[in-house]
Amino acid sequence: MTSKFLRSFLAIAVVSMISAWAQTGSAAAPSEAAGAASAPATTTPTTIATGTGSKVGTINIEQAVIGSNEGQRDFQALQKKLEPKQNELKQQNDELESLQKQLQTQEGKLNEDARATLVKQIETKKKSFDRAVQDAQEDAQNQQKEIFQRILQKMAPVIIKHAQETGFAMIVDTSNPWPQSPILWYGDSGDITKAVVDLYNTQSGIAAPAPSGAATKPPSARPAAPKTTAPPAKQ
């Protein structure tokens, strides 16, 4: 399951970059596509090809980018890069749970001052943990965005060229299911996701990464939240 960040990012990235390629009907320079990426999205992610075809096709942009050899390689590398931070946050989370357990097991045995000190320690650590989680999540999302945008920028002309050569007049993105997107139903016959991934892999020349034992997915910087919170100090 991909991150919510990628789903929200698609609405901007797909429209701004792919639509820019479709309007020109040719492989524009990467700098042109990068400029188009800054434009705000105002419509549903849709690719309008300039060919003479009349078919409507579909593509799962999210799946295409992440499923490409380059996407798998780069997201796996990012996952590995974020592991130290994940471990650090997990350690902080474990410390919080240990302190909470200590407070619960010693309830009624601590004097008011000792209890207040322990509660304060838990509250301080939790605030620090929450800030660290937020910072780590933002950093991970920014790095995910950079990878996704870079690959999509290079994949856009491949999508347009394939759509034009195979007689499609329109390609719609199916990354989000209905009702998050206006596409209620679509058949597999018009889906070009695999074809585009294969073409992009050939063009990029990047070999498939070694199997990691799990499906490639964008990494998450957020660990499980502490299961408990400190109770308020006794009145």
91 with 197, same domain: the answer is: no
pLDDT of 30: 38
97 with 126, same domain: the answer is: yes
92 with 191, same domain: the answer is: no
Residue 144 lies in a domain: no
Residue 66 lies in a domain: yes
Q: 168 pLDDT exceeds 60?
A: yes
171 with 199, same domain: the answer is: yes
63 with 155, same domain: the answer is: yes
Q: 202 pLDDT exceeds 50?
A: yes
Q: 42 pLDDT exceeds 50?
A: no
26 with 125, same domain: the answer is: no
| Interacting residues of 228 by C-beta distance below 8 A, sequence separation 6+ | 97, 100, 104
Burial of 169 per CB tally in 10 Å (0-12, 13-18, 19+)? middle
The CB-side HSE value for 16 (13 A sphere, CA atoms) comes to 18
157 is written with which tokens?
């002309």
67 with 10, same domain: the answer is: yes
User: What is the C-alpha to C-alpha distance for residues 47 and 35, in angstroms, rounded to an integer?
Assistant: 18
The parent domain of residue 97 ranges over 83-139
pTM for the model stands at: 0.68
Number of domains in the chain: 2
Residue 38 lies in a domain: yes
63 with 123, same domain: the answer is: no
Q: One-letter amino acid identity for 78? A: L
**Among 139, 159, 184, residue at a domain's last position:** 139
pLDDT (tens digit, 9 = 90+) per residue, 4-21?
Answer: 444 444 444 444 444 445
154 confidence band (pLDDT: 50, 70, 90):
very high
66 with 14, same domain: the answer is: yes
| Interacting residues of 76 by C-beta distance below 8 A, sequence separation 6+ | 209, 212, 216
Residue 198 lies in a domain: yes
Residue 175 lies in a domain: yes
Residue 223 lies in a domain: no
